[in-house]
Amino acid sequence: MKLEAWAANSIFIYPITLSCIAALVFWVTFSYIPSLRRKIKIRPIVETDQLRIYENLFTLFDLIMRHKDRSPSFYQERIRSGSLNFDDILLGLQNKVLNKHYLYNDQVNMHLFVVGESIFKISEKIEQLIDKIINYSPYVTAKEIILLENIRTEIARYDFDKEAIEKDPATIMGEDILRPIIPVISYRAKNFYALYSLFIELQTTVLFSNSTVNREVILYRLQYLYHNHKLNKCKKLIRDQRSNISADENLLNGYLILCEYDAGNISGFIALMRSIHKKRPYNGRLVAQRNFYARFVDCPQVREILSEYYSNGEIDLFESNVRKEISEKNTFIETNERLMKYYPNSAVS
């Protein structure tokens, strides 16, 4: 009765209340719920494309830090950990040229290789992915859009289009042929360093803010945590995700061993080494695990443990490959430092 009396006496409030309730029901039914469903379907596409941009940027930095063509760089850990600095990038660029027309100095040509077309293709992929994400702007945050546009700006700062990467820099003046004094792309050092800062920012979003978590994200997150010395979080991630990426058990075990060593748990490190290598992971190919054990190449205790499960020949092959790669990295650094001194008035813009 009280409700009926209130309704009868509320000439304005009652109709307005009913209208508000009806409007709310209409909005929830025909706007909010459909929008939420679209977001649930489309947001994973956005996050997957962000991951692809992250991977392409990693490939780009790995390219400019390589010691030779068609070979991964020695700086992958540094790239993922966010510890690559400007001087590293400047050094890495000392043996990279835009195209074959820049190989005009016989004194240094054997140390240089062409990267222009690869940079162009990677940049093109990134721009296409950014365009695709922007088309889904209702499902992208303002912060993400600003970050992606900043990445696009740095990617496009230099005109590395198809024509530019094939252009001969030589200029004919009478009987003289004039070429740039510095053939390498060291002038892009500041540009790449700015782009690297954006890569680190994107990495935080892709690995820790997005809800899409697949095998790739888990492995990239694992590498990031370990190389940033967040050992407890790294071990927790391994425990939590072991069943989800069981096919990568050997990789997880490798990082777990390193976590125990870096945490100072030597007894746990030794116990894990014995427990894991008893099974001869990677089909017994010790050399395939050199990225994990390169630092122990001169450690008698580690060699003693490995000798329980591997032959002397297998251990010797592992050690020779590690020493070869250490030598190659040192040679790369020394060569590029000499190249930097060789080019007069090296320009960095």
307 vs 51: CA distance, rounded Å: 41
More confident residue, 1 or 260: 260
The answer, yes or no, to whether residue 132 has pLDDT greater than 90, is: yes
Q: Give kind and range of the element (H or E) at residue 22.
A: helix 13-27
269 vs 263: CA distance, rounded Å: 9
Burial of 71 per CB tally in 10 Å (0-12, 13-18, 19+) = exposed
The answer, yes or no, to whether residue 38 has pLDDT greater than 70, is: no
279 vs 233: CA distance, rounded Å: 26
Greatest mean pLDDT range, 34-48, 176-190, 230-244: 230-244
For 153-190, the three-class secondary structure string (H helix, E strand, C coil) is HHHCCCCCCHHHHHCCCCEEECCEEECCCCCECHHHHH
The answer, yes or no, to whether residue 153 has pLDDT greater than 50, is: yes
- Confidence band of 18 (pLDDT split at 50, 70, 90): low
Three-class secondary structure of residue 88 per DSSP: helix
Query: Per-residue pLDDT tens for 54-82?
Result: 999 999 999 999 998 889 999 999 999 99
Nearby residues of 231 by Cβ (< 8 Å), 6 or more positions away:
225, 259, 262, 263
Tell me, what's the pLDDT at 70? 85
Tell me, what's the pLDDT at 26? 44
User: Average per-residue pLDDT in the chain?
Assistant: 89
Q: Average pLDDT, stretch 196-212?
A: 96
Tell me, what's the pLDDT at 138? 92
139 vs 249: CA distance, rounded Å: 35
Tell me, what's the pLDDT at 30? 44
Tell me, what's the pLDDT at 94? 96
Burial of 7 per CB tally in 10 Å (0-12, 13-18, 19+) = middle
Q: What percent of the chain has pLDDT over 70?
A: 87
The answer, yes or no, to whether residue 347 has pLDDT greater than 60, is: no
Sign of CA pseudo-dihedral 258, 259, 263, 268: negative
230-237: list long-range contacts, CB under 8 Å, 24+ apart.
231/259, 231/262, 231/263, 234/259, 235/259
Q: Give kind and range of the element (H or E) at residue 97.
A: strand 96-97
pTM confidence score: 0.88
The answer, yes or no, to whether residue 315 has pLDDT greater than 80, is: yes
256 vs 254: CA distance, rounded Å: 5
Lowest mean pLDDT among 12-21, 114-123, 277-286: 12-21
Query: Per-residue pLDDT tens for 244-286?
Result: 999 999 999 999 999 999 999 999 999 999 999 999 999 999 9
Q: What percent of the chain has pLDDT over 90?
A: 77
Tokens of 276: 């894991």
The answer, yes or no, to whether residue 142 has pLDDT greater than 90, is: yes
The DSSP secondary structure of 107-169, one letter per residue, reads: TTGGG-EE-HHHHHHHHHHHHHHHHHHHTTGGGS-HHHHHHHHHHHHHHTSS--SHHHHH---
Q: What is the DSSP letter of 209?
A: I
Other CB atoms within 10 Å distance of the CB of residue 24: 11
Tokens of 1: 């009765």
* For helices 33-64 and 215-227, angle between their N-to-C axes, nearest 10 degrees: 50
Tell me, what's the pLDDT at 5? 58
Tell me, what's the pLDDT at 159? 66
End-to-end CA distance of the chain: 82
